[in-house]
Amino acid sequence: MKRHVEGKEEVPTKKRFMPRVQLYVYDLSQGMAAMMSVALTGQHIAGIWHTSVVAFGKETYFGQGISIEVPESTPHGHLVERIDMGETQIPEEVYWEYIDSLREFWTADKYHLFDNNCNSFSNEVCQFLVGREIPKHITGLPKEFLSTPFGQQIAPMIEQMFGPSRVAAEHRPQNELLSTLATTTFAGPQHEHDKLNTPNLRALSKDFILFMHSSDLELIFRKLNGWLNEAGISAETEPVLDAVKAVLKAKYDEGTIKLGPLPANWWTAFEKCIATLKPDQLFPLIDILRLLVLDETVAKSLISQSPSPLILLLARFQKASHSQYNETAQLPKALHMMLLRLTCNLFAHSDTMAHILALHLTIPPSTPHRTVTTATLIDALLSPEESVRQCSSSLAFNMAVEAVLGRPKSEDSVYEEWCLEMVAAVVKALEAEKGDEIALRLMSALGHLLYRAPEEVVSLASVLGTADILNAKAAEFRKAGVEREKLIRDLAQEICLLL
């Protein structure tokens, strides 16, 4: 409608369209929970809720990874309710980039019925789009169920299927919590830390973080071949790379576990590319390599060579090795991310993990493998690029888990020195970190490093002011979402108990 202002006719402005966001709610029990819950649990449970987020004409949900479907075409049965979450100011292209960025973290192997499920995902996505959490009766369903005697009875079976649960640990009777978790989660003789009430620390995942999602192979190889053509070496490398692409494409198209045979000279071609291309042109090659090393046969073929090509590759791009560019140059972001993802994927196999953390020397330089890998981590932890720090926090977590699993039974000064270096690096990174997801992963790494650690390691953490840093982080991320804020706060409190 037109209005008059000071005698002049005002032309109405067109209101900017703001897409609406809806939460779709399904009952996976199809009504059975409402009918039978009182008899089974002693209290009424209205449904076993599955949720998805509908925005920009698509329905997005988490289960076997992240799925995107036409609304109401998902396999979750009859839609029970549509909850209007409000309008979003996030542009559509930014939203889909955000969803793509989540794929490496919301993978099928990270699904947990209690701790990390479809509703956890919907809650995070809705907070991103509209700044609102989904209803508490949905996110609180695991706690509601576990508060019942029946829920406590079957929780161990669920944990056997999905791994230790933080939510289940919170509802476990205290005497059972201290006796059972102390013996099953952290094996070994009694330690002072075993006497502490630290359910979240004990329930921390020990599954390595791997970057298994396939890239757009056509795009990656096309980009790489374009740069090789510019460098004048496409004639000798392109046939080999085409054969590698065919092997990878067959694996991901058919969903097989193992790769088919690679060309005999595939690594020679890769070395030619590494020696010829500029740093900002190398990320497609490293992206391809991080997929290849997920295959155990390929990974073992690389670590059988001397000197280790993997360690030489990591060493080349550390700050101490940047003289071919300049002392202060930052690695190109894409290359840095791919190097970190490659290193994380080397934790997929016990042999490659042992290789990159071994005390063997690589010539040149005459440096232990473990030193090179640790320097790769430290280089990245304080990167100005959030995406690089995200990847480095995954590597920190993997190395911390291995520090626990590989902890020597007797005193080992070399091992303790490594743990001291790791703790100092993680604490420093945590103090500077502004992202709640990265901070949470760093705290999880720190928890692994400190729980049942040698006295010198714990003492260093105390001297570094870790307790003050943790308390500051717990206060800083109060707006990170209720579940994440609680986990950050609880982890901070429990790690402080160790100090």
Residues designated as active site: 50, 118
Q: Please tell me the distance from the alpha carbon of residue 498 to that of residue 451, in angstroms, as a whole number.
A: 7
How far apart are the C-alpha atoms of 151 and 158, rounded to whole Å?
Answer: 10
CB atoms within 10 A of CB 212: 17
**Dist. CA 124–CA 487, nearest whole Å:** 14
- Give me the helix-helix angle, 333-345 and 309-316, nearest 10°: 150
Are the beta carbons of 74 and 118 closer than 8 angstroms? no
Distance in angstroms (rounded) separating the CA atoms of residues 236 and 238: 6
Helix (H) or strand (E) holding 61: strand 58-63
The single residue listed with the structure tokens 């005390």 is: 359
Say how many residues make up the chain.
499
Give me the residue label for tokens 């995107």. 68
Q: How many CB atoms lie within 10 A of CB 28?
A: 13
Give me Rg for the CA atoms of the chain: 25
Contact 440, 486 (CB under 8 A): no
Q: Is the dihedral of CA 162, 163, 166, 171 positive or negative?
A: positive
Q: Are strands 3-5 and 367-368 parallel, antiparallel or unpaired?
A: unpaired
Are 88 and 21 spatial neighbours (Cβ–Cβ below 8 Å)?
A: yes
Q: Is 99 helix (H, G, I), strand (E, B) or coil?
A: helix
In 10 A of CB 188, how many CB atoms?
11
336 membership: H or E segment, kind and range = helix 333-345
- Residue carrying the six token digits 């205290």: 174
